[in-house]
Amino acid sequence: MNTDHLFRLDGRVALVTGGSRGIGRMIAAGFVAQGATVYVSSRKAEACEETAAALGERCHALPMDVSTVAGCRALAAALGEREQRLDILVNNAGAAWGVPFTDFPESGWDKVMDLNVKSPFFLTQALHALLRAGAAAHPPAKVINITSVDGLRLNPWETYSYQASKAALIHLTRRLAARLVEDGIHVSSIAPGAFASEMNRAARDHGDAVAKRIPARRIGEAEDMAGTAIFLASRAGDYVVGETIAVDGGLVNASLGGGIDA
């Protein structure tokens, strides 16, 4: 068995939404390092351009707001003007909202649900033809949804729509996988735990304190996220379909609950 190229992405074309910072940028950097051509997209054009410049000549900015169906279709059209196929789509753009139960607003519910659940579906739909073209030219095309451990377990914060949205996206990942595998497109998801980012300010600003509650005793690093995404995107992950991988230092599956004295 020759494993020299098992994790390589040479010649592959990838699109990472929310790719200008945080987890999206970690994934984009990993893909570029493995030889892929990567488009990073987010609402802020300047942030996209800065990330593309930092990651090198194989990384390109493609700014777009994917919080609406129209924005999803516009991004797909813009990519179609530049590429004839798409091999890897990472649905990473997301939002959170935390407000006490009695005050939680409809706007906070709708914004999070639209961006975290609706947009991944409609962007994947809009890019379906390009993904099928990628699958036809290569081994399977890949769709990687970025979910969260908060879709697998409860957290103590009153982020009602966020937790519900991530649980929904995990199930949507399985449903999309069942349909798109027919077209040679393999769908899976990564459920991150504590990674330093604008969305996870606790991990960013209080990493040492957060680490004490994690079995691995540290927060996630860029290589942890990039490595998992590379695995799923490359030949190494071709037989993984519909799965959600928790990348969380054991928080979901290796954390003991509090005991109850008899």
| Residues involved in catalysis | 162
Instruction: Report the amino acid identity of residue 125.
Output: Q
- Return the half-sphere exposure (C-beta side, CA atoms, 13 A cut-off) of residue 220: 28
CB 160, CB 109: distance < 8 Å: yes
Question: Alpha carbon of 8 to those of 47, 140, 234, 247: distances in Å?
Answer: 27, 14, 6, 21
Please count the other Cβ atoms lying within 10 Å of the Cβ belonging to residue 20.
Answer: 26
CB 48, CB 63: distance < 8 Å: yes
Question: Alpha carbon of 230 to those of 18, 70, 138, 143, 145: distances in Å?
Answer: 17, 29, 16, 12, 13
Residue 172 CA to residue 164 CA, distance in Å, equals: 12
